[in-house]
Amino acid sequence: MAPSRGLTWLSRLNRRPIPNNNGFRRSYSDLPRIVADPARKVQVYISRSLDPYVNLSIEHYLLQKSSPESTVLFLYTNRPCIVIGRNQNPWIEVNLGLLKNRLGKAERVDLVRRRSGGGTVFHDEGNVNYSVICPTAAFDRDRHAHMVVRALQSLGVKQAKVNERHDIVLDICSDRPEGEYINEITLPLLAPKPLKISGSAYKLTRLRSLHHGTCLLSSPNIGTIGQYLRSPAKPYILARGVDSVSSPITNVNVANGEFEDAVVEEFGKLYGLVEPVTVTGDEVDVPEISKGLAEMKVSGG
């Protein structure tokens, strides 16, 4: 893969504290001021927490509290977890028995319900989640998916494209079953379905809208994701809710830092270049984030 282009200082941000210039201090009490500042029309945040409850709570805080006219990019990575949509039934979407068997093990898999719609996804340290928050009047389901595609293409993933379901796929087809991992050996096989690398979900309010998705980069669990997202109880349950649409999946073999840099660069081309603010998870001291975190843990799966 080609290395990330330009903005070399962005890579350094991942390895050093945010400087004190422009008000971007590593003081968590400053976060509400930074987020709500009407002068900050473009904002970029990168989380270094791996806690899915914390990251989704920060994301919700940014949606609620960012300046109404601002456009916000939030990038984060979660430890292994299954994230279901707001209106989904975990008994239908998830192999809960498999999750139960992992309780108490060093690498457990959390079950998390997000506030947006869409289908069930698996997160781990091998994928990066992207979230764009903007005024509802400017919302477009494909605009930021295309932004991510351009970022991937700049890293050498030339086959990436946005499909009719607003997912990001590789324009290489597979004859493997839905939800099954496809490796480099099977990629050349021709068949009807492109390989999915990123799905999207949305949350729209009167003034603010959110589009977020996850991109499979180098997931070490990709060979078993289908097992987690295949409920043995599904054929026996008739329930209301939104069913996920399964697709064959693959990694794109891009490093997390390269992907973050490339997405920030493409976001900057759309809205203007700003220095990212690093968040660490200690932002749960902000009352609204703490409240959102408690609500998420109560709602569970």
The verdict on residue 180 lying in a domain is: yes
Is residue 23 scored above 60 in pLDDT? no
User: Which residue's structure tokens are 């799905």?
Assistant: 199
Per mean pLDDT, which range of 1-5, 114-118, 217-221, 246-250 is the poorest? Answer: 1-5
Q: What is the pLDDT of residues 186-241, one digit of tens each?
A: 444 444 578 999 999 999 999 999 999 999 999 999 999 989 988 876 555 555 54
The verdict on residue 84 lying in a domain is: yes
For residues 83 and 241, the model is more confident at 83
The number of distinct structural domains making up the chain is 1
The verdict on residue 124 lying in a domain is: yes
The verdict on residue 2 lying in a domain is: no
The verdict on residue 1 lying in a domain is: no
The domain in which residue 277 lies consists of 8-299
Q: What is the pLDDT of residues 24-72, one digit of tens each?
A: 434 456 899 999 999 999 999 999 999 999 999 999 999 999 999 999 9
The verdict on residue 241 lying in a domain is: yes
The verdict on residue 107 lying in a domain is: yes
The verdict on residue 141 lying in a domain is: yes
The pLDDT score that the predictor gives to residue 169 is 96
CATH of the domain at 193: 3.30.930.10
